[in-house]
Each structure stands twice: as C-alpha cells, then as structure tokens.
Structure 1
Amino acid sequence: MFYFDESGFSQEPCVPYGWQEKGKQLRIPSVKSKRINVLGFMNRSCELFYYPVIGSVDSKTVIDIFDYFAYQMTAPEYGGDDRYTVVIIDNASIHTSKAFRARIDDWILEKKMIVLFLPTYSPELNLIEILWDKAKYEWIDILSIVNFRGFEKEVKRVFDGVGQEYMISYA
C-alpha cells in the first residue's frame, strides 16, 4: 500500500503568522524562486518513489506518473504480476478529473494497481503529508541555499535520503 500526493517547494518562505517583540522587525531571508513540485508514492516502510516537476502539474502529469509507477510495480523486484498495489490518494481536482478517473479501471486490469480515495477534507489520513511537512520544515536547509540550482540539489538530496538518512515513524 502506497500513499500518493504532491507538494510544492520554493525558496520563497511562507510564514502564515509569527511573533515578534513590539518595536522590533522580524526579517526572513527570501529569494525569488521557481517552484519544484514533487509528486510521490510512499509506503509505511518509508519506501519512496518521487518525481520532481518544475512548473505546473495537471491531470495529464499525474496520469503519466501513475502509469510509470504502475509499470515499476510490475517489475520482478516488486512482485511482478502476482500482487496488487494499492494507492491511497486525496480528492484534489487533478485526482478526480474525468481523464484521471477514466484510467482507474485500466490500472486495475492492466497493472493490478487499485486507486482508493480518502474521505473529503481528511489530509491527516494521507501519511505522505507527514513527509512533506518534515521535508519543508526540518530536512531541507533552505537558509544555506543561494541559487535555484543549489535548491534543486538540496531537494533531490533530501528525497533521495528518505528511507535511509531520513525516516518517519508511524507509531
């Protein structure tokens, strides 16, 4: 069973609220940045298949990534054609589009991949959300990066390390 979702990463900080002493100004280093959207499949063992996309993500992008993931899951090292793969996803519009829903039966029949939707407005049930939180606020060293190329390398370093250097415990 894998949990799927996507999240955007940028060098521009997002601080929804903060606290500072009266009369003092709080400053956060900021750099204009392109956005890296990371789409990922992760299981409870922290096995991660991730796909970075620079630019926008639409239903076609998600379908292409699901097709590639389904292909990977039929490889002999992942059980070949014997087992089903279950993917849990939320109800984002790119997951519920006509084009995406039209592929669900194909994935079941051709790739033995079952797609299950979470109840609406329940991100706490999608365990990959914890990964996005950890990556954004603990693991990526945003303050030491000065350009987009360095930012790309840092994002890749962190996601390559999930399951070895970076672990999430679902206790």
Structure 2
Amino acid sequence: MRLGARYRRIRKRPRGIPSPQLYAYKTQKLQELETLYAKGEINLFYGDESHVCTEGYVPYGWQFPGENIYIPSERAKRLNIFGMTSRDNSFEGFCTSEPIDATKIADFLEQLSFGLDKKTFVVLDNASVHRNTIIRQRRPIWEKRGLFIFYIPPYSPHLNIIETLWRVMKGKWIRPQDYTCADTLFYATNRVLAAIGKGLRINYAHNAA
C-alpha cells in the first residue's frame, strides 16, 4: 500500500523561532542588499564555518556484488573551514586543523578589507564567534575601508546560501573514497574549495526570504 511518503534527507533545524518583527526587518534589508548586488553596486558574500572529518560523513556508498568498501578505523581527524560565497560562486576562505576562533576570523576579514574594489557585505549568523569582542572592536575600522557585516536573524540558517555549498560539497563533490584517510580527505577538500566558481558551480536559485 502506498502512503505517499518519499525517501528524503532529514535536515536539522534550530530549536528556536525567530522574532517575526526582526525576521521581517532583516529579510527586507537582506533583499535590499541582494538588489544592490544584482546591479553590481556592492559585493555580497555569505559566510560561515564548516568542517570535514575522517569519522564517516558518508555512511553508505555504491558497492558491486561481492565488493566490500571499508573506511579504516582511526582516531578522527578534522579540517575546519571558514568560507564565504556569493551567488556568482566567488569563494573566499581558509582551512585549519585548529579550532576556528574569533581571532582567526577577524584576521581573515582584516586582510580582506585591504583589497576591496567596492563596498562589501558579509552575511553571518549570530554565533558567538561572529560577535566576539575582537569582531566588534574592528568593525568600525573595516567599515571605513568598505567592509560591513550583516547578521541574519537568529534561528534562520536557511537565509545563508553557504549552507547549500557545505551540503553539496560534503554530499556530492567529496567522494566516499576520499574519506579513506586524513591526507586524501583534506587534499580532496582543498581541491574542491579551489575549484568553486571554476569547474564547480551551484545555482543559488532561492531568494533570501
């Protein structure tokens, strides 16, 4: 008997609910930034952290009859990523085996602020690492150089298109066999990140709303 259900990926969703008033205000402002970006008047990046880990992100893979594919058991190794992408698939970011803290993000944005060709907005969520004291202290300096941070409303990850990039990167561009050891996984990750906007592209069709 068919029940009408479909086999689909189960997504994580934040526990909280954004304030309707704040959500409406922020989405309107974000849409205004999108319009300016579409006209070529500003740069608009969406940023966030992610990571890859040797402890099996991909639990299933295609195997031929009689073939068994194994991922060796070892202490998990992790590569942390801070990345920013635009709707035209421009990508900026860095990778590290160390935890990503506010100092690393601030240093990255500091370097970015020196080479801007127009006003540049970076969309971030409200994680504490994005609102740390060092970020707050440097924002006025960055804004004088043309770099601005725009915070999306709490509990609204769907407004950040880089979540789509991380999902496609881990679920499609990085292959199951790349997880066999840390060296191959980290090499594959860096290869994928370098190819974004060149050989690898995403059609970010959905609007920020």
Taking structure 2 as the reference length, what is the TM-score of the superposition?
0.67
The equivalent of 2:197 in structure 1 is 163
What is the distance in 2 between the residues matched to 1:131 and 1:158? Answer: 11
Deviation string, structure 1 residues 55-114 (Cα, Å, up to 9, x no partner): 211111111111122223x2xxxx2xxx211111110110011221111111101x2101
The question of 1:95 aligning with 2:138 is answered no
The question of 1:2 aligning with 2:45 is answered yes
The equivalent of 1:63 in structure 2 is 106
SS of aligned partner of 1:129: helix
What is the distance in 2 between the residues matched to 1:114 and 1:49? Answer: 16
> How far off its partner does 1:32 sit?
3.0
The equivalent of 2:85 in structure 1 is 42
Is the 8 Å Cα contact of residues 56 and 179 (structure 2) preserved in structure 1?
no
The equivalent of 1:140 in structure 2 is 174
SS of aligned partner of 2:110: helix
> How far off its partner does 1:50 sit?
1.9
Taking structure 1 as the reference length, what is the TM-score of the superposition?
0.81
SS of aligned partner of 2:75: coil
The question of 1:51 aligning with 2:94 is answered yes
The question of 1:114 aligning with 2:154 is answered no
Is the 8 Å Cα contact of residues 88 and 115 (structure 1) preserved in structure 2?
yes
> How far off its partner does 1:119 sit?
0.3
Q: Which amino acid aligns with 2:123?
A: I
Q: Which amino acid aligns with 1:3?
A: Y
The equivalent of 1:86 in structure 2 is 121
Is the 8 Å Cα contact of residues 34 and 55 (structure 1) preserved in structure 2?
no
Is the 8 Å Cα contact of residues 11 and 142 (structure 1) preserved in structure 2?
no
What is the distance in 1 between the residues matched to 2:178 and 2:94? Answer: 24
The equivalent of 1:153 in structure 2 is 187
SS of aligned partner of 2:96: strand
- Note the residue ranges of structure 2 that are not aligned, 5 or more in a row: 1-43, 61-68
Q: Could you tell me the percent identity over the aligned residues?
A: 29
Q: Which amino acid aligns with 2:101?
A: D
SS of aligned partner of 1:168: coil
Is the 8 Å Cα contact of residues 49 and 83 (structure 2) preserved in structure 1?
yes
Moved more, 63-72 or 29-38: 29-38
Is the 8 Å Cα contact of residues 5 and 89 (structure 1) preserved in structure 2?
yes
Q: Which amino acid aligns with 2:114?
A: Y
The equivalent of 1:128 in structure 2 is 162
What is the distance in 2 between the residues matched to 1:144 and 1:38? Answer: 17
What is the distance in 2 between the residues matched to 1:102 and 1:95? Answer: 12
SS of aligned partner of 2:81: strand
SS of aligned partner of 1:156: helix
